Structures are given as C-alpha cells and as structure tokens.
Amino acid sequence: MHEESELVTGEAVVLDLRVAKLASRALAMALDVLLQLALLLAAIMVLSFVMPGADESLVLTVLLVFVVLVMVGYPVVFETLSRGRSLGKMAVGLRVVRVDGGPIRFRHALVRGLAGFVVDFWALGLFGAVAVIVSLCSSNGRRVGDFLAGTLVVRDRAPSTAAYAAVAMPPGLEGWAAQLDLTRLPDDLALASRQFLARFRELRPEASHALGWGLAQQMGNALGTPVPPEVPPWAFLAAVLAERRNRDHARAFQAYAAQDRPGYPPVAPYPGSAGPPWPPAGPHPEAVRPAAQPEPPTPPSGTPMPVENPFTPPS
C-alpha cells in the first residue's frame, strides 16, 4: 500500500499526506478494542451488582445498549472531540482527516463509527475481515466507513529523530517585529507555522504557497496587523516566531537574573535589553557577553555594493 497520497483540495491545491499503513492501523484498532472490552467488562460488573435479581431479558437489553454505546459511541466521541484521533490512534500517531485534508466533524465520525460496527468489524464484518479486504483493495487503505464518510487515515506524528530547526529573523524585519503585540498569538497557530517552516522545501510549490499564505492571514488576523507589502508569507511567519522566541528568552533571562545572586546588574526590560538572549553559564553575565562585532569595511569609491535578496527561503 502506498505511503504517500496526493489529495486535491477545493482550491485545486495538491497535498502530500502520509497515509497510515495497515499494520499501524491494526495496532491502533487493537488498542481501541482492548479499551472497549475493558469498558464492557466494567459495565457487566456494575450490572451484576445493580440488578442481581432482575429479569434476564431486561439484563440482556441493558447489556446490548451498553455494547452499542461502547462500540459505536467510543470512537465517535473521541474522534469528534480530538479531531480524528481515538486513544489507540493517539498512541500510534494516526489521525482521521477528510479526503481534502481538513479535520473531520461529528457527522464523519458518526458514519465511520456506525459503518465500523455494522459493516467493517462486528455485525457483518467477520471480526475485521471486511475492513482488511477493502483496505488492501484501496490505494489509500480506506475501509468501508472511510468511503462512506469521505475520510482517510494519515500519519499524524513526525519521526522521533526529526527536530525543528531554529527560526531565524529575516533581515529587514527586526524593527517591524519588535513593535508587535504577541500576547494574542495562539500556541497552536505558532506550532502550525513552525511545522510549516520546517517542511517548507518538502511541499509542492502550490501547496507551500497556499498553506503559507493561509497561515500568514490567520496570524495577521490574530495579531491585528496585515502582512507587510512585498514580504513573502514564510518571511512574515519566521519574523513573528523569531521575535516571540527572542522575547521568551529575554523573559527567561530576566527571571534568572532576578534570583538572589549578588553582583548581578539590573536587567533592562524587553525590548532594548542589553543582556544576552539566554542565561549564561558563567558567574556573571557581563563577563561572558560577546564583544562588539566590527563593522564591515566600506568599499572604495566607485565600487558597487553587492546586493543580496533579503528574503531567501529558509534552508
């Protein structure tokens, strides 16, 4: 089964999604089934204590209701609240998304849950045989519930060896970024922007432009400032994230220097702080501050100054 899937969004943008393989989906399903069986066992124990002498038909009816609630309600509730992830998918690193790459809603989770109970796994699914056969016949590994709901299971977790590179401040945007009010920047939007910058060169040009512009618009709306003219979306995102990181480092250094350590000079508040961006390892910050860098020599008269593009995409 293919690991990569090309999906076309409503804006005609091709997205590369890492489709979950059958083995990882089976592992997530096994974890979910174990949790469901544990819930059913707990329900049976509760019924045995609550209705010890009740009619047998009543007990079977209540037990059947619990079975439906657990087998259908468990995936529906978790996939709706967590935007496509049950507990088993969380453990394995999978997520259910729409075929256009967007997050699923309640109706998608409900269709998947009902189809999983009736067709894919239990009632008519021969304990998962139908789901396995249909997934093997599908290029994207989709089962019957995925076809009916218009969904797809993808890998949501980055490899453990992957690390996000430090975001550098694009030249020329330092002064503009220093005036921003970053208190209204949501953490999830900042994380999504950092992930986009980390995969900037791996995306298709059309998808890179569409996703970058969309994130830049969301960030501009959150901060109350538009994207500066002639500034690429990735440079706008990088400037905001770099400024946020610098301010976080400055606050951390101020808290470090404010401890009861004799000999420390007062630290100026950010912006305009003269201290290093992170707590130094030595006994005194003044002793480890880097020396001022000499200015580059001025070229002789008549020699043109080399001009570089200040907005080169991050490597």
Q: Report the SS3 class of residue 77.
A: helix
> How far is CA 270 from each of CA 103, 175, 256, rounded to the nearest angstrom?
38, 13, 14
Exposure pattern of 257-276 as b/e (b: 16+ CB <10 Å)? beeeeeebeebeebeebebe
Whether the bond into 271 is cis, omega within 30 of 0: yes
What pTM was computed for the model? 0.52
Residue 231's contacts (CB-CB under 8 Å, 6 or more residues apart) are: 170, 173, 311
pLDDT, tens only, 51-101: 777 778 888 888 889 998 999 999 999 999 998 999 999 999 999 988 877
Distance, in Å, from the CA atom of 167 to the CA atom of 239, rounded to the nearest integer, reads 8
DSSP-based three-state secondary structure for 302: coil
| pLDDT greater than 70 at residue 47 | yes
pLDDT of 294 above 70: no
Q: How far is CA 112 from CA 126, 131, 134, 135, in A?
A: 17, 12, 14, 14
pLDDT tens, position by position, 117-170: 999 998 888 889 999 999 999 888 899 999 999 999 998 764 444 445 678 898
CA distances from 60 to 66, 154, 231, 299 (A): 10, 38, 66, 91
What is the pLDDT of the chain when averaged over all its residues?
A: 78
